[in-house]
Amino acid sequence: MERRIVHVDMDAFFAAIEQRDDPSLKGKPVIIGADPKGGRGRGVVSTCSYEARKFGVRSAMPISEAWRRCPQGVYLAPDFHKYEEASGKIRGAFLEFTPDIEQVSIDEAFLDITRSAHLFGGPLETCRRIKARVKELTGLTCSVGLAPTKLAAKIASDLKKPDGLVVVEAAGLRNFLSPLDISKIGGLGPKTAEVLRARGINTIGELAAAEPDELRGLGAHGLELRALALGEDPREVREDGETKSVSNEITFERDTADAAEIKESLVALADKVSSRLREGGLKGRTVTLKIRLEGFETYTRARTMGLSTNYADVIAKETLALYAAFDKGRKKVRLLGVKVSGLMPADEPESLFPGEGDDRRERAHKAIESIREKFGRGSIYRAGGKKDI
């Protein structure tokens, strides 16, 4: 049976939700991300509307550059609770068509409809119905790629945005991939691309035609990339594609070496991650600290704990220890991030004996959550933490 893999990519997801909820924003360049502060802001663009993209604004662009290109844009802070609510409805729509779902991120997913498409009129009709159902439940459009492999499905979903639908048949898979630039292959980073281009390999077709000796220096990864270029992509849609991590970041308005400011930022980030884990009914075992220094050098440090947690004080303790062990020299800090991964359900026991203080921590967290639910997040914050993260 020929595999039928679908890649669904929501169109300008965050910006589209804001335009849906505020009709006055429709047709305007909407940019979600950090406060531009008149072109002097720090941080990056999370996403932007298609109207903003006409000005050259792109996701992950420095917000100051976005302001330079589009000062007339409507700049909004992200509302992740609203976006996560929409994402949950979208996943619910997917489950109406197949149980085989791999959630790649909040706004994209792979679906394997090989075993279920016949129930909905065939693969193409299934894709049309998925698009219609997402629109019905959320008022949002998505772009869909249908192909026999994950690579081709993902590429196809990006070709006719917004609201696109592109089908790649197995017989035409090699012809579809061949003229595309090698950058279209997920997992092929800029350094690998530089090596390949230096050897005259610029398209997927040229990579497919390359002899193994031409990929020397890239090891097994080079052969894996060549197999993908040949249309050989056996990767399955993983049904365990749930949230893999929860994270938050802060970009400072000015690069800082202030120890107190850094500490309170890390405590506040840990608190925010803790809140999101608990709201999602999750806990995690690995804490990762992200540090970006002046000059944009970026580092990560991680520690895996003996037991999983979603307690803010535990996450903060691990994060502060990771920072204390990091040697940044005399350089100032531009960005900090805290992530918890290795997630599992919060109510899943890992030990017969609760840790000392767990009952007290649980009561304290629930009390804080109750106050925030009633009076807002800014009504209470942890000692040593900043209010505004």
Catalytic residue ranges: 108
Give residue for tokens 């107190």. Answer: 260
| Nearest of 143, 133, 208 to residue 178 by alpha carbon | 208
Sheet with 5-10, side-by-side order of all strands: 101-105, 108-112, 5-10, 142-147, 165-167
Cis peptide before 162 (omega within 30 of 0): yes
208: phi then psi, degrees, rounded to nearest 5: -65, -35
What does the block give as tokens for 242?
A: 């749930």
Cβ neighbours of residue 326 under 8 Å, at least 6 residues apart?
289, 291, 299, 301
| Nearest of 294, 306, 307, 373 to residue 334 by alpha carbon | 294
Neighbour tally for 377: CB within 10 Å: 15
Whether residue 51 contacts residue 18, with contact meaning beta carbons closer than 8 Å, is answered with no
Sheet with 30-33, side-by-side order of all strands: 45-48, 30-33, 74-76
Quickly list DSSP for 188-235.
--HHHHHHHHHTT--BHHHHHH--GGGGTTSHHHHHHHHHHHTT---P
Whether residue 112 contacts residue 4, with contact meaning beta carbons closer than 8 Å, is answered with yes
Would the CA dihedral through 192, 194, 197, 198 be positive or negative?
A: negative
Task: Specify which residues 162 forms β-bridges with.
Answer: none
